[in-house]
Amino acid sequence: MSALLEVEDLEAGYGAVTVLRGVSLQVGDGQVVGVLGPNGAGKTTMLRALSGVVRPRGHVRFAGDDVAGKRPEAIARLGIAQVPEGRGTFTGLTVRENLQVGALSRRDGDVAADIDRCFERFPVLGEREDQAAGSLSGGEQQMLAVARALMLRPKLLLLDEPSLGLAPKITAQLFSDLSTVARDEGTTVLLVEQNASLALKFADYAYVLEAGQIALSGTASELADDDQMRRSYLGV
């Protein structure tokens, strides 16, 4: 089975500074894959490269198509949605409008129905439907950001540090909701997280990125048992 996302020798950086130095990974259809690692390892840069915000060198194949070098709008329209670091909420728009923006590039007529389903799934957002998104709490904004990305009906969902700045209980709820949604919709997930133990609970497979390169990889249970992992990232 060929993977939904195939990344080969990905290199990317900013100006003269190279952050990713040859990253290769695969994400299978329907999987939840985690990318772990310390600060500054290049995790965010990788997601930005995948979404086309940063121009990469190397190969990125999505559902068989070469997407490296495409513009972000084009990549999004192919079915890759990203929940960026810091959420990227449109603070001046209402919750409903944020969701509508997420669906702006769609041509079908089911957007309104999708929004209703979203409010069913995330009742908190439904309650705040007409409020300015900027007035939501951190956890609610994160939920909104995920919902917004899902409005694209993506095949692949990229998440950049969703737990950042959130209390543990809220984070756990968020991840649980995320898993449910991903399973229901059949969405493939690539999750970048600093919180390794949390990520490994939800991921099927994971990679560890250090200093711009893959240092470790394996199934979630393999990594959870790995000594090096436990010492460096799991605090055990």
Partner 1 sequence: MAEFIETVVDGIATGSLYGALALALVLIFRTTGIVNFAQGEMAMFTTFLAWGLVEAGLPIGLAFLATLGLAFVIGALIERVIIRPVEGGETLTLVILTLGLFIFINSAAGWVWGFNNRAFPNLFGEGNVDIGGVSISVESVGIVAVLLALVGVLFLFFQRTKVGLAMRAVSMNPESSRLAGISVGRTLMIGWGVAALAGALAGMLIAPRLFLDVNFMGAVLIYSFAAATLGGFDSPLGAVIGGWIIGVVENLAGTYVDWIGNDLKILVPLLIILAVLMVRPTGLFGSPEVSRA
Partner 2 sequence: MKRVVPYAVLAAVLVAVPFFFSSYRVGQFTLVGAYAVAVLGLNLLVGYSGQISLGHGASFALGAYVSAILITDAGFPAFATVPVAAVVGFGAGFLLGLPALRLRGLYLAILTLGLAVATPQLIKRFDGLTGGTQGLNVDQPTAPAWTGLADDQFLYLATLAFSVVMFVLAARLVRGRVGRALIAIRDNETAARAQGVDPARYKTLAFATGSLYAGVGGALYVFSIGFVAPESFTLVVSFSFLAAVVVGGLATIGGAVFGALFIEFVPVYAGDVDEALAGVIYGAVLIAFMYALPGGVMGALRKLRGKANQFGRGRGHAQQTDGGGAGGIADAGGEPGGGVRAG
Interface ranges with partner 1 (CB under 8 A): 51, 53, 71-73, 76-77, 81-82, 84, 88-93, 97, 100-102, 104-105, 148-149, 152
Position 210 contacts partner 2 (CB under 8 A): no
Minimum distance, C-beta of residue 90 to partner 1, in the bound complex (Å)? 5
The site for partner 2, by CB under 8 A, has a size of 10
* Helix runs in the chain, H state only: 43-51, 72-78, 95-102, 111-121, 123-127, 138-150, 168-185, 196-202, 220-225, 227-232
Two tokens, residue 144: 């909104």
In degrees rounded to 5, what are phi and psi of residue 177? -60, -45
CB atoms within 10 A of CB 92: 10
Q: Which partner from the list partner 1, partner 2, none does 189 bind, CB cut-off 5 to 8 Å by kind?
A: none
The interface with partner 2 within residues 34-73 (CB under 8 A) comprises 42
40 or 138: whose CB is closer to partner 2? Answer: 40
Q: Between 111-121 and 95-102, two packed helices, what is the crossing angle to 10 degrees? A: 130
Joined together, the tokens standing for residue 93 give: 């728009």
Pick the closest to residue 3 from 45, 58, 60, 57 (CA basis).
60
Please identify which residue in 129, 137, 211, 228 interacts with partner 2, judged by CB under 8 A: 211
Site string for partner 2, 9-38 (x = CB under 8 A): ----x--xxxxxx-----------------
CB under 5 to 8 A by kind: which of partner 1, partner 2, none does 84 bind?
Answer: partner 1
Residues contributing to the site for partner 2 (CB under 8 A) = 13, 16-21, 42, 211-212
